[in-house]
Amino acid sequence: MFDIDLWREIFQSINMNRTRSLLSGFTVAFAILLFTILFGIANGLQNTFAEAFVDDANNSIFIRSGRTTKAHKGLQAGRQIQLKNEDLDYVKNDFDDKVEFITARIYKNFQVSYKGEQNNYNLRAVHPDHQFLEKTKIKEGRYINQNDLNNRTKTVVIGRLVEEDLFLKTRALGKYINLGGIQFKVIGVFTDDGGDNEERLIYMPVSTAQYLYGNNDYVDQINLTYNPEMDYDQALGFSTLLTKKLKNRFSVARSDQRAIRVRNMAEGTKAISQMTVGLTFIILVIGFGTLIAGIVGVSNIMIFIVKERTKEIGIRKALGASPKSIVSIILIESILITAIAGYVGLLIGVGVLEAVGPSLKEYFIKDPGVSNGLVIGATLTLIIAGAIAGYLPAKKASRIKPIIALRND
């Protein structure tokens, strides 16, 4: 395998057939280049989809209310449907085995200040389970707990950027901030993978907001996560049943699409999953199709090489060369061309993805690239494919009888 004369002969053969070797190598390189770029784009799309859901649990369901658009059971259209604490308790109790986490939301906006620093921030009044729906990560301190709800404590959990904005020279934990003229104690600081907007939020107990800002039990929204053991069809069936039950509860017509709105993340994740599988299949077909074309090209060039070297092979056999040595020469030459050309294609493909990656964000393709496993797998595939492509003509050459080879014109 490491015979100097053998390798010298292989490189001489490649040099004598430079045009054919280059064309064959180009076919393989282009196939791997296309394969790499397509897989990189597919990964970029998957990264975009993953980023879209990074801020919320994938099994989330959002319940919102609005005005009725149709008369129903003697009630006129235009009624405002108002969600309350009792509606959250109804969903929690009646669907206990289907609900994982559940929380209400109340939306507010306040001017918030600490000493000389102030700014406007959005506030969400929530239940403790909200942390798991929103994938909130506590950086320091703690999140809202049941004791805060029971006692209507004047406590808040602030985002990382709120702390940076207001607390320039000190930490926020344990300090009091002025929120709409009322002092609240900061009990925690959180981070969120959803981006800067999510980290400029403030959370407080829902019971505190209801008591201070309306003295009622109204909520703007109910969010929950369904049992993660449910499959897509079960999850969609659950949200359909939930919609039906809530419409009956509020005397809303079944065809009214605005009074009670239930959005299930399973709808989006199922569609994205199906599209991703379809896209991956198409890429595999195109990628392997081009790869096979490259392998066929290598096989063709090896057939021509064998034909041109028929007399030489005959002389070798007449001088006592074994079939194994003849197969080795042609086989190694095939593997060498395939491996080098394929690796060059990989390098160019990765380089193209690195160069154009940032500009693809506007087309919803984020951080396109290929994994190390894919690169190694593709390289090994090329080596094996090159061996297969060269084996058949090599085996045929080894069986040529010396007398027949020497008669060949």
Last residue within a domain, chosen from 216, 237, 265: 265
Provide the pairing of β-strand 117-126 with 60-65: unpaired
CA distances from 277 to 42, 53, 99, 272 (A): 10, 18, 29, 9
Tell me how far apart the alpha carbons of residues 211 and 283 are, in angstroms, rounded to a whole number: 57
Total domains in the chain come to 2
Last residue within a domain, chosen from 224, 250, 265: 265
Tokens representing 74 are 């003697």
Residue corresponding to tokens 């407080």: 204
| Residue among 110, 106, 131, 107 nearest 119 (CA) | 110
**225/335 same-domain check:** no
Tokens representing 44 are 């970029």
pLDDT at 357: 78
The whole model's pTM is what? 0.67
**72/204 same-domain check:** yes
| Residue among 139, 189, 187 nearest 163 (CA) | 189
Q: What is the 3-state secondary structure (H, E, C) of the chain?
A: CCCHHHHHHHHHHHHHCHHHHHHHHHHHHHHHHHHHHHHHHHHHHHHHHHHHCCCCCCCEEEEEECECCCCECCECCCCECCEEHHHHHHHHHHCCCCEEEEEEEEEEEEEEEECCEEEEEEEEEECCCHHHHHCCEEEEECCCCHHHHHHCCCEEEEEHHHHHHHCCCCCCCCCEEEECCEEEEEEEEEECCCCCCHHHEEEEEHHHHHHHCCCCCEECEEEEEECCCCCHHHHHHHHHHHHHHHHHHCCCCCCCCCCEEEEEHHHHHHHHHHHHHHHHHHHHHHHHHHHHHHHHHHHHHHHHHHHHCHHHHHHHHHCCCCHHHHHHHHHHHHHHHHHHHHHHHHHHHHHHHHHHHHHHHHHCCCCCCCCHHHHHHHHHHHHHHHHHHHHHHHHHHHCCCHHHHHHCC
Tokens representing 314 are 């005959």
**309/287 same-domain check:** yes
Neighbours of 42 (CB within 10 A): 20
pLDDT at 157: 97
**106/131 same-domain check:** yes
Query: Would the CA dihedral through 194, 269, 226, 94 be positive or negative?
Result: positive
Residues 6+ apart with CB under 8 A from 47: 365, 366, 367, 368
Last residue within a domain, chosen from 235, 265, 295: 265
pLDDT at 185: 97
Structural domain that includes position 47: 4-53+270-406
**397/341 same-domain check:** yes
- Per-residue pLDDT of the chain in tens (409 residues, 90 and over written 9): 466 777 777 777 777 777 777 877 787 788 788 878 888 887 787 777 666 655 667 889 999 999 999 999 889 999 999 999 999 999 999 998 999 999 999 999 999 999 989 999 999 999 999 999 988 999 999 999 999 999 999 999 999 999 999 998 899 999 999 998 999 999 999 998 888 889 999 999 999 999 999 889 999 999 999 998 998 889 999 999 999 999 999 999 999 999 999 999 887 777 777 777 777 787 778 777 776 776 676 667 667 766 666 666 667 666 666 767 777 777 777 778 777 887 888 888 888 888 887 777 776 677 787 776 776 677 677 677 767 766 776 677 667 776 665 665 5
**233/278 same-domain check:** no
Residues 6+ apart with CB under 8 A from 52: none
Tokens representing 212 are 């201070």
**251/281 same-domain check:** no
| Residue among 181, 178, 200, 205 nearest 189 (CA) | 200
**137/107 same-domain check:** yes
Tokens representing 295 are 């392998």
**77/45 same-domain check:** no
**95/146 same-domain check:** yes
**317/398 same-domain check:** yes
**43/72 same-domain check:** no
